[in-house]
Amino acid sequence: MARAPRNGRHVARCHRNRTGDLLPDRSGRSPCGRRNVPQVSHTPVVIDHLARIGGTNPIRDEEVSQLCALASHPRVSVKVSTFYALGEKKPPYLDLAEMIRRVFEAYGPERLMWASDCPYQLGTGHTYEDSISLVRDRLDFVGDGDREWLLRKTAERVYFFV
């Protein structure tokens, strides 16, 4: 688990493995998955990269529904990132908009955050501008106030407890 800089609180990070299971971060110590989240209700849990839905397979409705179901736990947030590795895997990443819309509706903007996924976003044919412009300019269901949450405020709240 990552230790927060100011007050020592922990933030658990989760990602999805190649078989589609939500797993702890690489340290192996963070709680993930629907069964474990209620046991750590005091700990913020961040699911990395839209749980990598659409990374190795097409975007599956049931996987998006599983991710959305975790929104019932108020301390769970989701990083909206890694567009270069999801869906069609090419800018402008518009094929991801419907999945992002569903996650946005489930979690609300205060629990979603764009992430750079540095340095991996800079692979051949991908740029940070490609990634951020999807959230900043192309998601027509996200208003200006909501964009502030996705691009800045959620990360401040989760990681820096602002």
The pLDDT tens digits of the residues spanning 8-32 come to: 455 655 655 544 455 444 444 434 5
- pLDDT value at position 162? 66
pLDDT band at 37 (very low <50, low <70, confident <90, very high): low
The alpha carbon of residue 115 and the mean position of all alpha carbons in its chain are separated, in whole angstroms, by: 8
Alpha carbons 21 and 122: distance in angstroms, whole number: 26
- pLDDT value at position 31? 44
Is 103 within 8 Å of 112 (Cβ atoms)?
yes
Structurally, how many domains does the chain consist of?
Answer: 1
The alpha carbon of residue 13 and the mean position of all alpha carbons in its chain are separated, in whole angstroms, by: 10
- pLDDT value at position 16? 54
Q: Which of 42, 60, 44, 43 is nearest to 16 (CA)?
A: 60
Alpha carbons 127 and 105: distance in angstroms, whole number: 27
Alpha carbons 46 and 130: distance in angstroms, whole number: 23
CATH of the domain at 88: 3.20.20.140
Alpha carbons 158 and 162: distance in angstroms, whole number: 8
The pLDDT tens digits of the residues spanning 41-64 come to: 677 889 999 999 999 889 999 999
The pLDDT tens digits of the residues spanning 72-108 come to: 999 899 999 999 999 999 999 999 999 999 999 999 9
- pLDDT value at position 11? 61
Domain that includes residue 128, residue range: 2-160
